[in-house]
Amino acid sequence: MNSGALETDTSSNDREGQSWQAELSRNIVSVAELEEYLPLTPEDRRDLERVAASHPLNIPRYYLDLIDPDDPGDPIRKLAVPTIDELILDGEMGETTGDPYGDDKHDKGNGILHKYPYTALVVATEYCSMYCRHCFRKRMVGLPNDQTVKNFREAAKYIAAHSEIKNVVISGGDPLLLTTDVLKSMLEELRGIPHLNYVRIGSRAPVVFPMRLFEDELIDLLADFNRDKPLYIPTHFNHPKEITGIAREAVQRLHGAGVTINNQAVLLRGVNDSVETLTDLMDGLLRIGVNPYYLYQCMPVSRVRHQFQVPLKEGVDLVDEARRKMDGYAKRFKFIIGHDIGKLEICGRIDDKLLLKQLHARPGCQQESSRMLVRKLTDKGGWLDDLPEAGL
């Protein structure tokens, strides 16, 4: 098994010998296949079958190789392999929801979410190369739904008609798992819209399926588009073990196309909720040329919250202590709550008062941008709605 260090051995993914689609077809998608790699008891097998019925199992063999099969608490295993805890809908952490970010309220149809005046998000696909167990779009990823784009040309017409939109996020699912021809047609529709300053493609492929980035046609496409509009890829490294030699090579290929890569991690119980792990993660990202950008508070998502969310009282102290060990570039990331009302930065605390600043507000509520919020911390509260309002 791969230790996750910056090794360059690529024997598990013969990039020269087969296409990324062929490698993707070898993904582990059933409990029976998983059992060939990880020891499972009959009880484990029964529980995983129940969980996979609600949120499918999908793990690339590359990522599976990062798991220590002898360690039930392995952080990579927690991110990729279902557990019975996913069946918990309510518990001591509080209520859960399928739509914590308020996507449904801003759904304009045909895959377009217009949450902030200056940003349009297009849900291009429900498919990912891996179905992360902490996914905040768990209700739709890997499942047939009506919230993905059906006609990108019509989506582009909506964007072109709204001159307040300054940037577009192509999201999902994972858009880089679309074929290069499909991606090309999408980017061509956006290239000539004059009020777009830049485009983002949200993808976890550099982390869980870096082989996708070794297709020359894709890199050529990204480089060509980047000559007209800056292209950014927000990605999602959560643990230092994910920063492998192959991931670094994939990142370097994106850099060669002029793409800027920003990391949006999530603070996750049992994965990265320690000072050492967070510090190693941010330092490791800088070593491969990825910018630490956001660290999200885990959302109160159904089948996610009770196994992954860290209470805010614990999380704010953890992040502050980790930042004391980081240099300036490593500590640039913002600790964020992606809430229904907008995006909030967790600035820190004074005694039992949590201080937050609203970075972005929903349409019609722009006066709320840049406001400060104060909440009273509780031992278990993990979300803004859990904390009572307070004054300084």
| Structural tokens at position 37 | 């790699």
Residue length, the chain? 392
Average pLDDT over residues 372-389: 96
Number of domains in the chain: 1
CATH number of the domain that residue 144 is part of: 3.20.20.70
pLDDT at 362 (0 to 100): 82
Residue 339 is assigned to a structural domain of this protein: no
**pTM of the predicted model as reported, rounded to 2 decimal places:** 0.91
- Reduced to 3 states (helix: H, G, I; strand: E, B; else coil), residue 216 is helix
Q: What pLDDT, in 10s, does the model give residues 193-214?
A: 999 999 999 999 999 999 999 9
DSSP, res 322:
H
The answer to whether residue 189 scores a pLDDT higher than 50 is yes
Q: What does the pLDDT look like over 273-326, one tens digit per residue?
A: 999 999 999 999 999 999 999 999 999 988 899 999 999 999 999 999 999 999
DSSP SS3 for 238: coil
CA torsion, ordered 325, 326, 328, 331, to nearest 10 deg = -110
pLDDT score, position 13: 44
**Tell me: the pLDDT tens digits for 225-243?**
999 999 999 999 999 999 9
In this structure, is residue 69 part of a structural domain?
Answer: no
Does a structural domain hold residue 192? yes
The answer to whether residue 330 is domain-embedded is: no
For residue 210, being part of any structural domain is answered with yes
Domain membership flag for residue 335: no
Range of the domain at 107: 103-305
Is 285 within the bounds of a domain? yes
Q: Which residue shows structure tokens 């320690």? A: 274
